[in-house]
Amino acid sequence: MRVCSIELPTENYSSFLTKGFGTVRVGRRTNTFGFQIATTNPAPHPTLLFALRSDGGEFPVEFGIRINLATGEITDTANNSGLIGWLDPTLWPSSIAPYPLVLRWEVENTGLALIPRLIIGDEEWLYPSVHSPGEAWFTATAGHDLEGAEIGAVYSPAYVWCEDRLN
pTM of the complete model: 0.83
User: How does DSSP classify residue 151?
Assistant: G
In tens, the pLDDT along 35-68 reads 999 987 666 678 999 999 997 667 789 999 999 8
Q: How many CA atoms lie within 13 A of 85 on its CB side?
A: 12
8 A C-beta contact, residue 47 and residue 100: no
DSSP 100: -
84: domain CATH number is 2.60.120
Range of the domain at 35: 2-164
pLDDT digits (tens, 9 = 90+) for 77-133: 888 888 999 987 776 666 566 667 899 999 999 988 999 999 998 889 988 899 888
User: How many domains, in total, are found in the chain?
Assistant: 1
Asked whether the beta carbons of 143 and 151 are under 8 A apart, the reply is yes
Give the helix/strand (H/E) hosting 34.
strand 30-39
CA atoms within 13 A on the CB side of 148: 3
Q: What residues contact residue 108 under an 8 Å CB cut-off, 6+ apart?
A: 31, 32, 114, 115, 116, 117
Instruction: Give which of 70, 77, 10 is closest to 42, Cα–Cα.
Output: 70
Under the banding of pLDDT at 50, 70 and 90, the label for residue 11 is: very low
